[in-house]
Amino acid sequence: MLLKNSGRLRRLACIVAPATLVVALAVTPGGALAAGPTAGDPNTAAVAWEEIQWDEITYDKNGQVISEKHGSGKLEDGGVTIDAAEGGEGGSGNCKNVWARRIGHSVLGFVVWKFEHWKYFCWSYPTITYVEGGHRWLDIDPNWLVRGQWGDGYWYEWRGAAHGGQTSYRQGQIENCAFHIGCIGTWYPYVQIWINGNGAWTYDTSG
């Protein structure tokens, strides 16, 4: 099972692949994403609804891509995933890139900001042998100002391996500000990712 600090459990299957133990933390650029609304659009002044998107790329032992998966879904009450799917098990892969992003939309559906947390990890069942990750803001409308971001993470035991599981979260602060009016609203997008030593992973945005 995939362990969460919130106490919720999700079941994951077992996959075997060789590697050696290395741990690193870094930030690297991700792939291109869709552009946001036209600068200064008056319809982008507030977040009317939010969305979660995720992407997964699995690599074989030679670094060749063997599968790609994508998903998206709306959020309810600012944080609970309703119809977004999750990244699956590792198959025959050895490493993965995974991304999960929270997206604010205006009343007319324009994107006003995206907040993304990502990880790259490798495994040799039941141990995670390498992991790095980071976060970034994307497609920020001119009426929004980033005030900060923070995060943390930790290892946990999984299937008897001290480094069998790892989780990290990232949270940001962004404000909706208008000229001559000031800032009229603040949002705190949150994304947490769990990974296991079989290539499986999941995410949560309800922190």
- As a whole number, mean pLDDT of residues 99-113 equals 90
161 band by pLDDT with thresholds 50, 70 and 90:
very high
- Partners of 171 in the β-ladder: 150, 190
Q: What is the pTM of this model?
A: 0.71
Per-residue model confidence (pLDDT) at position 184:
78
- How far from 199 is each of 98, 166, 169, 187, CA to CA, in Å? 11, 11, 18, 32
> How far is Cα of residue 132 from the mean position of the Cα atoms in its chain?
13
31-61 pLDDT, tens digit per residue, is: 332 333 333 344 445 788 888 889 999 999 8
More confident of the two residues 130 and 39 = 130
Mean pLDDT of the chain: 75
Per-residue model confidence (pLDDT) at position 191:
94
183-197 pLDDT, tens digit per residue, is: 778 889 999 999 999
- How far from 134 is each of 113, 123, 141, 192, CA to CA, in Å? 17, 19, 22, 11
CB neighbours of 157 closer than 8 A, spacing ≥ 6? 164, 165
CA distance 141 to 3: 36
- State both tokens at 126: 């039941």
Per-residue model confidence (pLDDT) at position 92:
64
- How far from 54 is each of 57, 119, 193, 201, CA to CA, in Å? 11, 12, 11, 11
User: Contact 22/120 with Cβ under 8 angstroms?
Assistant: no
Per-residue model confidence (pLDDT) at position 107:
83
Per-residue model confidence (pLDDT) at position 19:
34
More confident of the two residues 182 and 124 = 124
CA distance 114 to 116: 6
- What are the domain boundaries of the chain? 21-26+48-204
More confident of the two residues 23 and 95 = 95
